[in-house]
Chain A
Amino acid sequence: MAAVRTGSEIALNRFAVVIVLIVTLIFLAPIYWITSTAFKPRNLATTIPPTVVFEPEISPFVKLFTKRAQLRSAPTPEEYAAAPWWERLVFDGGEKVVRSGKGEVQLSGYPSRFMNSLIVAITSTVLAVGMGTFTAYGFSRFKVKGEQDLLFFILSTRMLPPVVVAIPMFLMYRAVGLNDTHWGLIILYTAFNLSFSVWLMKGFIDEIPKEYEEAALVDGYTRMEAFFKIVLPEAATGIAATAVFCFITAWNEYAFALIMTNRRAQTAPPFIPSQVGSGLPDWTVIAAGTFLFLLPVAIFTFLLRNHLLRGMSFGAIRK
């Protein structure tokens, strides 16, 4: 709208921009901190005051992905010259890369933890959003006996602090052999996100005029076909928004992952801080691990940002 703006409106607008900038800075500060530390030489990581200007290094990432051991004696010049560039970075830090008997480089625990995080977060998000969408469609379009009570019941699973159920869950999981498995976490996160997904998706589906599907029914389609052809595309924005929320929750979950997994199925959140404890903490490696850990969420959110902006209004503004 090209409305004429008064002086006070302009002042108010500037004030708003300043506030937005300040809030953005506050939110960006830790991200800057992690990112810069991830590229710092080790000796500059914990200086006081913090070092702002430095020559960025890639060595924290090399260390992040490899299994290392303390050097007993400095490498011989031949050894040093024969080593690839990334191995020299490890030598420079007073460590060496652990190799198997056949000379293969041993990876650190990080890549497998990262993969575990991806598997668990993606699978549980797909399940939670998928089941949530179907359930929400049912609630939205059909007369369900005790609809209000059921919806409240579904939401009530979110009212308990998760920690309260952690120990009983742990015991049950151990009894059925779900401890330290991908499915164990997937089931947990799916269940946890499902209530949220049902409620969000119900809001979005309620907004889609049922006349669209009814037109398809009269035109010769089954309800299932109408759902996939008409409802799903119309609900895309809502699905995207719900998926981002579910993904972030599963990706960042710490407490259950810490209790329920220890090795095979361990995800990144409990793994990253566990590295602090082994030997002298190398903060640059921890920062590098955290930095990479942030990337999937950042990319996912960035790709869906247009949907999200509309989705955040929870269907209130659908035009």
Chain B
Amino acid sequence: MAHIQLKNITKKFGAHTALKGLDLEIQDGEFFVLLGQTGAGKTTTLRLISGLETPTEGDILIDGVDVGPWGAAERDVALVLQQYSLYPRYTVRENLEFPLKAKIRRLERAEIDERVNRVAKTLRIEHLLDRKTDRLSGGEMQRVSIGRAIVRKPRVFLMDEPLSALDAKLREALRTELKNLQVNLGATFLFVTHDQIEAMSMGDKIGVLNEGHLVQVGTPNEIYNNPLNTFVARSVGSPPMNLIEGELRSGKAVMTQKNFELPFTGATGTSAAEGDRPLVFGIRPEDLHLEAGAPVEAKVHDVENHGVEKILTLRVGDIMLRATVPARTDVALEDAVRFAWNPNKVVLFDRASGVSLRHAG
């Protein structure tokens, strides 16, 4: 198990910069999730740590040791990919044995069998051991891929969207399983995904990556409740945070289109927020609620029924807002409703930079 540190990492592919000045620290035993859209540089980050790519600039430290000159084999990290990490010609057992048979490990036959059997038991793939891997379902394949990483007892697990190719139900099951596994092993995980639900539900820490820049690092709570900027606000939460342009005038949030106002008593974090300063108000859908005497009137534009709750799309003029309301709320399309927000939960962003005023200080 290990502590990973990336210092000022830049990676260029020709003229294209995939990562720019990346600083990242992963504590020993931590489940760290790197969240970003396709092309953000997630895979590149993992490949750099595993030694399959060399950084254009910057250093990578494992347990405080600069591993720059080390090859992939010496770094002792395990990599699990979305697909293609199992050899189609091999049986499951042969795939699990493969990393143990590398010359640098010099393991006894008995030890290899012991480890393979233990891992097979942990992941409940014992009945598959003699099957060729091209005869496995997607879920079984990913279990075996994860098994192939675990048998090695590597210093760190690098996982590149290992669940993305699976169907929703399986993904959910494996999510829990993987998280439990990490807790039981006490292992260091760097898990990469574009799925914010995965990030929120599994990560001890989340790093939000955007076009090669690490935008914010924090616990899922910090990222969710206190996003550093509008990009992070939009990246997590389903549906995402409502972002409304407006200004703050004497205790009221005045929306730019001037078609509504909401009382605002929350801590702005800075007095500079008052006045003509262009702002963006961020409010989570669950912090909007319908109320008979509430200050703003809206039309119900859309209703999505999710069982325990409903997600409403409210229309105020030409602004669309999402609100999560209890399932018993009885509304129909084009109903006129009144809503309010929880002013303590409103996050203020500077409109020009997109940065949260709480973070700007």
Tally of A interface residues using CB under 8 Å: 16
Q: Is the CB of A220 within 8 A of B105?
A: yes
Q: A215 to B85, alpha carbons, bound, how many Å?
A: 6
A233, CB-defined interface residue at 8 Å: yes
B48, CB-defined interface residue at 8 Å: no
A211-241 residues at the B interface, CB under 8 angstroms: 211-212, 214-222, 225, 230, 233-234
Q: Is the CB of A233 within 8 A of B78?
A: no
Q: Is the CB of B73 within 8 A of A221?
A: yes
A7, CB-defined interface residue at 8 Å: no
B185, CB-defined interface residue at 8 Å: no
The number of A-B residue pairs with CB atoms under 8 Å apart is 54
Which residues of the other chain, B, contact A222 by a CB distance below 8 angstroms?
73
Task: For the complex formed, measure the closest distance between the CB of B72 and the CB atoms of chain A, giving whole angstroms.
Answer: 4
Which residues of the other chain, B, contact A220 by a CB distance below 8 angstroms?
73, 76, 99, 102-105, 152
Q: Is the CB of A217 within 8 A of B73?
A: yes
Q: Is the CB of B79 within 8 A of A215?
A: yes
Task: For the complex formed, measure the closest distance between the CB of B99 and the CB atoms of chain A, giving whole angstroms.
Answer: 4
A209, CB-defined interface residue at 8 Å: yes
**B88, closest chain A residue (CB):** A234
Q: Contacts A221-B73, A222-B73, A234-B89 given; indicate if A214 touches B102 (C-beta within 8 A).
A: no
Q: Contacts A217-B52, A217-B73, A218-B50 given; indicate if A211 touches B87 (C-beta within 8 A).
A: no
B84-104 residues at the A interface, CB under 8 angstroms: 84-85, 87, 89, 98-99, 102-104
Which residues of the other chain, B, contact A211 by a CB distance below 8 angstroms?
81, 83-85
What 1/0 flags go to B5-47 for Cβ under 8 Å of A?
Answer: 0000000000000000000000000000000000000000000
B51, CB-defined interface residue at 8 Å: yes
Q: A214 to B52, alpha carbons, bound, how many Å?
A: 7
Q: A18 to B204, alpha carbons, bound, how many Å?
A: 69
What 1/0 flags go to A81-122 for Cβ under 8 Å of B?
Answer: 000000000000000000000000000000000000000000
Q: Is the CB of B98 within 8 A of A212?
A: no
Task: For the complex formed, measure the closest distance between the CB of A170 and the CB atoms of chain B, giving whole angstroms.
Answer: 47
Q: A256 to B186, alpha carbons, bound, how many Å?
A: 69
Task: For the complex formed, measure the closest distance between the CB of A307 and the CB atoms of chain B, giving whole angstroms.
Answer: 14
B200, CB-defined interface residue at 8 Å: no
Which residues of the other chain, A, contact B98 by a CB distance below 8 angstroms?
216, 219
B298, CB-defined interface residue at 8 Å: no
Task: For the complex formed, measure the closest distance between the CB of B49 and the CB atoms of chain A, giving whole angstroms.
Answer: 10
Q: Is the CB of A218 within 8 A of B87?
A: no
Q: Is the CB of A218 within 8 A of B84?
A: no
**A233, closest chain B residue (CB):** B89
Residue from B72, B78, B105, B148 within 8 A of A217 (CB atoms): B72
B77, CB-defined interface residue at 8 Å: yes
**Residue of A220, A225, A230 ringed by the most chain B CB atoms within 10 A:** A220
Q: A212 to B237, alpha carbons, bound, how many Å?
A: 35
Q: Is the CB of A218 within 8 A of B73?
A: yes
Q: Is the CB of A218 within 8 A of B72?
A: yes
Task: For the complex formed, measure the closest distance between the CB of B75 and the CB atoms of chain A, giving whole angstroms.
Answer: 8
Which residues of the other chain, A, contact B72 by a CB distance below 8 angstroms?
214, 217-218
Which residues of the other chain, A, contact B71 by a CB distance below 8 angstroms?
217
Q: Is the CB of B78 within 8 A of A212?
A: no
Residue from B79, B83, B89, B105 within 8 A of A218 (CB atoms): B79
**A222, closest chain B residue (CB):** B73
Which residues of the other chain, A, contact B50 by a CB distance below 8 angstroms?
218
**B47, closest chain A residue (CB):** A214
A200-214 residues at the B interface, CB under 8 angstroms: 209, 211-212, 214
Residue from B76, B84, B89 within 8 A of A209 (CB atoms): B84
**Residue of B73, B84, B148 ringed by the most chain A CB atoms within 10 A:** B73
Which residues of the other chain, A, contact B102 by a CB distance below 8 angstroms?
219-221, 225
Which residues of the other chain, B, contact A218 by a CB distance below 8 angstroms?
50-52, 72-73, 75, 77-79
What 1/0 flags go to B61-78 for Cβ under 8 Å of A?
Answer: 000000000011101111
**B75, closest chain A residue (CB):** A218
Q: A233 to B90, alpha carbons, bound, how many Å?
A: 11
Q: Is the CB of A215 within 8 A of B81?
A: yes
Q: A293 to B66, alpha carbons, bound, how many Å?
A: 64
Task: For the complex formed, measure the closest distance between the CB of A23 and the CB atoms of chain B, giving whole angstroms.
Answer: 35
Q: A225 to B268, alpha carbons, bound, how many Å?
A: 61
Residue from A219, A230, A233 within 8 A of B99 (CB atoms): A219
Q: A39 to B203, alpha carbons, bound, how many Å?
A: 80
Q: A214 to B78, alpha carbons, bound, how many Å?
A: 11
**A219, closest chain B residue (CB):** B99
**Residue of A217, A218, A233 ringed by the most chain B CB atoms within 10 A:** A218
Which residues of the other chain, A, contact B87 by a CB distance below 8 angstroms?
212, 230
Q: Can you report 6 residue pairs joining A to B where beta carbons are below 8 Å apart?
A: A209-B84, A216-B98, A217-B73, A218-B78, A220-B102, A222-B73
Q: Mark A residues whose CB is within 8 Å of B.
A: 209, 211-212, 214-222, 225, 230, 233-234
Extra pairs beyond A218-B73, A220-B99, A225-B102 (5, CB < 8 Å): A211-B84, A212-B85, A218-B51, A218-B75, A219-B148
